[in-house]
Amino acid sequence: MAADVYKQKNEDVPNGSLVPPDRQHAERSESPTPGLAQGTEPGAGQEGAMFVHAKSYEDLTGADNQDVIPRSPYQTEGAQDELTKMEEISKDFSELSTQLTGIALDLEEEIRQNEEDKLDLSPQASRRDSVLSGEEEEDVTMETWRMHQKHVFVLSEAGKPVYSRYGSEEALSSTMGVMMALVSFLEAEKNAIRSIHADGYKVVFVRRSPLVLVAVAKTRQSEQEIAQELLYIYYQIVSLLTWTQLNRIFQQKQNYDLRRLLAGSERITNNLIDLMARDPSFLMGAARCLPMPAGIRDAVSSCLQQAKAKSLVFAILLSKNQLVSLVRKKDQFLHPIDLHLLFNLISSSSSFREGEAWTPICLPKFNSSGFFHAHISYLEQNTDLCLVLISTDREDFFTVSDCKRKFQERLKKRGVYHALLEALHTPFYSASQVGIPELRHFIYKSKSSGLFTSPEIDVPYITEEEKERLLGLYQYLHSRAHNSSRPLHNIYYTGPNENLLAWVTSAFELYVCFSPLGTKATALTAVNKLMKWIRKEEDQLFILSPQTY
């Protein structure tokens, strides 16, 4: 077993393939099609999913229209209409192109506008860096705070400041007073979302009683996306306090100053906002897997599964916001939002590198009324491998700590520990491994598993700005694809710097970035090839056999 595992080094495998042919699943369809049923797409787990099924913006849509998935006229229905041939897909896209000129123009314009903005933004960009590194509070009387790309405020329904992304909440409370006036028109509805556009800004309000969250954004993001980010911040606060406690506090005292209880958590919320701008996990509503040979992952998962304890509900092994393995109690499913909150918590503080942390945590989508206890520790001082053990019993620290020890011992005994560490050296693969010259980057999400895969963002997206710009383009396509009034399932966009393609079916979502030299025809061939490649590599790129207790 061990020897077998060691052989599977990425570099040894020719043709950009990550896996030896004997590991591939012959029984799974090689060329997925739009008609592919959920659960058979590349990346779909063989024994069911680890996550709760999450739909894009599920929390933003009212309960009444939640079950109705709007269909575009371009989506095919029923087996007889299945688009199995490339000509048909290509016809589908060409039909779209007329309609999409508008979008392309509008997108280009926005990009151009953004580039112009960048010039006057630069002094403030460096300002932002100084804010993040230093502890000094910003002088709010300066105009600077208004020049930030996105402000986020959280306040209580009584108008008391709870959180502000930049500057001190105290000095901003007068501004907040103005905002409260704006919010008052929301009073009729309890969980309302509204937005206004002014001066090139989008102001988005999300009300989740007893809190009101406000974003003032200069980004290209849609209202839906901004509202979704605000909801994440709301859930972040709930994860620290529980929904029950949050409500009890404000029922007892309407003008309670919540900052007392949230003291020290600003770092976590700041980190969340920064992460949402960089990490596509949030946009995709899915978890990204660390690519590794399936044999090693399976061995790691079974070691993790064997180190169990009665009170354990979830065991999560991760490395820098990428999932390595997840074991869950049978019948218990994690929601991607809860997993993202855990990832964010861990990446927001280096304090977990010391000793073993044992902290109360609420997973709001799992159960917003109570706390779990999380045992958080790194496997070794100098690795990024972090183990999170979620327990129902706050008195169970030593039992849970023992599970970690058993897990580590078993890893070493089975000889997979080194292979695991090895896999961490190559946490990303390159888009060039797919073997499509014009392919620059892609994001592929398997809907049934709630997992996605994406290569490293590489040339020409070198700088942070360029990387965020690419993510911005994906965000834009995503928002077009999921627009609640008129969703699009196929989008092909040609721009001056790159061509992009989005393809959303009931089984998967695919966003691809090509060099601007390619044509639509080459893009379509490429997508077909890419899907085959993903299918071929799926057992490395995804967790196909998740374990349960």
Give contact residues for another protein (rule: CB under 8 A).
Answer: 133, 135, 240-241, 260-265, 267, 345, 349-352, 354-361, 371, 374, 394-395, 397-398, 401-402, 405, 408-409, 412
Q: In whole angstroms, what is the distance from residue 270 CA to residue 65 CA?
A: 33
| Smaller CB separation from another protein, 67 or 398 | 398
| Smaller CB separation from another protein, 240 or 523 | 240
User: Considering the complex, what minimum distance in angstroms separates the CB of residue 346 from another protein?
Assistant: 9
| Smaller CB separation from another protein, 349 or 545 | 349
Phi then psi for residue 295, to 5 deg, are -60, -40
DSSP state of 281: H
User: Considering the complex, what minimum distance in angstroms separates the CB of residue 373 from another protein?
Assistant: 8
Cα distances (Å, whole numbers) of residue 257 to 163, 250, 384, 393, 515:
11, 9, 37, 30, 52
Q: Vertex 502, ends 501 and 503: CA angle to 5°?
A: 125
Q: How many CB atoms lie within 10 A of CB 285?
A: 23
| Smaller CB separation from another protein, 90 or 401 | 401
User: Considering the complex, what minimum distance in angstroms separates the CB of residue 347 from another protein?
Assistant: 12
Cα distances (Å, whole numbers) of residue 352 to 96, 206, 209, 282, 531:
50, 32, 32, 23, 39
User: Considering the complex, what minimum distance in angstroms separates the CB of residue 198 from another protein?
Assistant: 35
User: Considering the complex, what minimum distance in angstroms separates the CB of residue 398 from another protein?
Assistant: 5
Q: Which of 330, 334, 325, 331 is nearest to 372 (CA)?
A: 334
Contacts of 434 (CB under 8 A, 6+ apart): 16, 455, 529, 530, 533
| Smaller CB separation from another protein, 16 or 370 | 370
User: Considering the complex, what minimum distance in angstroms separates the CB of residue 264 from another protein?
Assistant: 4
- Angle, to 10 degrees, between the axis of helix 223-241 and the axis of helix 336-347? 70
User: Considering the complex, what minimum distance in angstroms separates the CB of residue 501 from another protein?
Assistant: 41
| Smaller CB separation from another protein, 74 or 397 | 397
Q: Which two tokens stand for residue 472?
A: 């911005």
User: Considering the complex, what minimum distance in angstroms separates the CB of residue 132 from another protein?
Assistant: 9
DSSP state of 315: E
Q: Note the helical H segments in 41-194.
A: 86-133, 144-147, 169-183
Phi then psi for residue 276, to 5 deg, are -65, -25
